[in-house]
Amino acid sequence: MSIASKVAWDDSILPFQLDKADIKGRMARLDGTLNQILGQHNYPVEVAAMVAEAVMLTALIGQNIALRWKLSLQIRGDGPIRLIATDYYAPKSEGEPAQIRAYASYDADRLNAAGTPFEKIGKGMFAVVIDQGKDTTPYQGITPLTGGSLANCAEAYFAQSEQLPTRFSLSIAQTDEGKGSHWRAGGIMLQHMPKASPFAKDAEIDTIDVDVEDRSDNWNRAMILLDTVETTEMIGPHVSPDQLLRRLFHEESPRVYDAQMVRFGCTCGEEKVRQAMSIYSAKDIKHMTTEQGTVTADCQFCGAHYVFAPESLGKDAG
């Protein structure tokens, strides 16, 4: 496989439909995008692994929804990994890439405790927030942190909030490619075609009439086939997403649609920081002022550093 053909399907999300079943899906591969996200921080490996899983879920879910602006995952727990936050920004116009960003907050002194990376999040919540932009009310669905993985939490969210049978299969690994460590991630999302879901992105999917018994049989068969996927197929360099779909579901007549490219992107900026500071009084701003006579702010997603004159911030600025 040439480098050019490999690049064409890295950092992309491929929508598909299984024509002989009542199932739609997404397949994603993240490489450069994931490494840019993780490269903004120096996370311990277990924190990075959880951020990578959250990023993959965000990409799969975000591209699956009829989204005009932003989908976010917020994962909060009482363990050493306290918070994972991700944002998926829909393309502003056709042909443009979607943008994704993420960060985590953790207690380094507690990370040595026994347990899997997921267990180090502890007890808490898995939240999906859908924001369609200005003059709309964000939608939020929350489910407990259960099931042993973030993927299982996402499946529970769809079962609880949208009553849609949904399955995720993710492969995430850190590799050594001669120039330091490198993260790779691949994922597949399968879902029953909803008859009436307010958030489903079905404009490009053809609905097929299938009776209840056949729907159940089709779903069970798809689950069995999905369980045969191998890590090397999901994140290795030799099998493209469309080839993997044909290998897994050739009897289901998979139909693929145009892929959506994904890039790392952050929406922070000086004006947004000023707007966030506008809720504070002059007294509050004074408490934030450093010994150097400035107010500073750092973006948790991309690490951008902002420096302001105190008099230019707060309710009384300008």
CATH code for the domain of 124: 3.55.30.10
What would the mean pLDDT of 283-303 be, rounded to a whole number?
84
Question: How would you label 170-192 residue by residue, b for 16+ Cβ within 10 Å and e otherwise?
Answer: bbbbeeeeeeeebbbbbbbbbbb
Is residue 219 domain-shared with residue 298, that is, in the same domain? no
Looking at the 3D structure of the chain, how many domains does it have? 2
Is residue 291 domain-shared with residue 165, that is, in the same domain? no
Is residue 154 domain-shared with residue 83, that is, in the same domain? yes
**CATH code at 282?**
3.90.1280.10
Q: Is residue 161 part of a domain?
A: yes
Q: Which among 74, 43, 33 has a CA at the least distance from the CA of 266?
A: 33
Distance, CA of 134 to CA of 145 (rounded, Å) = 30
pLDDT at 216 over 50: yes
Residue 80: what residue type?
P
Question: How would you label 42-62 residue by residue, b for 16+ Cβ within 10 Å and e otherwise?
Answer: ebbebbbbbbbbbbbbbbbbb
Distance, CA of 104 to CA of 40 (rounded, Å) = 11
Is residue 258 domain-shared with residue 278, that is, in the same domain? no
Q: Is residue 20 part of a domain?
A: yes
Query: How does pLDDT run across 4-21, given as a tens digit for each residue?
Result: 344 457 899 999 999 888
* Per-residue model confidence (pLDDT) at position 171: 95
Distance, CA of 189 to CA of 23 (rounded, Å) = 10
Is residue 106 domain-shared with residue 219, that is, in the same domain? yes
Query: How does pLDDT run across 153-189, given as a tens digit for each residue?
Result: 999 999 998 788 999 999 999 887 656 678 999 999 9
Pair 80, 110: CB distance under 8 Å: yes
* Per-residue model confidence (pLDDT) at position 195: 52
Structure-block tokens of residue 94: 């056709």
* Per-residue model confidence (pLDDT) at position 301: 86
Is residue 192 domain-shared with residue 288, that is, in the same domain? no
Is residue 214 domain-shared with residue 244, that is, in the same domain? yes
Q: Is residue 317 part of a domain?
A: no
Beta bridge partner(s), residue 182? 175
Pair 20, 252: CB distance under 8 Å: yes
pLDDT at 259 over 60: yes
Return the number of other C-beta atoms located less than 10 Å from residue 109's C-beta: 8
Is residue 241 domain-shared with residue 276, that is, in the same domain? no
Is residue 303 domain-shared with residue 166, that is, in the same domain? no
Q: Is residue 318 part of a domain?
A: no
Query: How does pLDDT run across 76-116, given as a tens digit for each residue?
Result: 999 999 999 999 999 988 889 999 999 999 999 999 888 99
Sequential DSSP letters for the chain: --HHHHHHHTTEEEEEEETTTTEEEEEEEESHHHHHHHHTS---HHHHHHHHHHHHHHHHHHHHB--SSEEEEEEEESSSEEEEEEEEE--SSTTSPEEEEEEEEE-GGGTTSSS-TTGGG-SEEEEEEEE--TTSPPEEEEEES-TTSHHHHHHHHIIIII---EEEEEEEEEEE-SSSEEEEEEEEEEEEPPSS-TTB--TTSPP----HHHHHHHHHHHHHHHTT--HHHHHSSS--HHHHHHHHHGGG-EEE---EEEEE-----HHHHHHHHTTS-HHHHHHH--TTS-EEEE-TTT--EEEE-GGGSSTT--
Q: Is residue 290 part of a domain?
A: yes
Residue 304 pLDDT grade (very low, low, confident, very high; cuts 50, 70, 90): confident
Return the number of other C-beta atoms located less than 10 Å from residue 70's C-beta: 18
195-199, 213-217, 278-282, 287-291: lowest mean pLDDT where? 195-199
Residue 205 pLDDT grade (very low, low, confident, very high; cuts 50, 70, 90): very low
Is residue 294 domain-shared with residue 259, that is, in the same domain? no
Domain of 280, in residue numbers? 270-312
Distance, CA of 316 to CA of 318 (rounded, Å) = 6
Pair 32, 9: CB distance under 8 Å: no
Residue 196: what residue type?
A
**pTM of the predicted protein model:** 0.85
Is residue 301 domain-shared with residue 186, that is, in the same domain? no
Is residue 201 domain-shared with residue 62, that is, in the same domain? yes
Instruction: Name the average pLDDT for the chain.
Output: 85
Distance, CA of 225 to CA of 238 (rounded, Å) = 20
Q: Is residue 14 part of a domain?
A: yes
Query: How does pLDDT run across 32-87, given as a tens digit for each residue?
Result: 999 999 998 899 999 999 999 999 999 999 988 877 889 999 999 999 999 999 99
Pair 199, 162: CB distance under 8 Å: yes
Structure-block tokens of residue 123: 């007890």
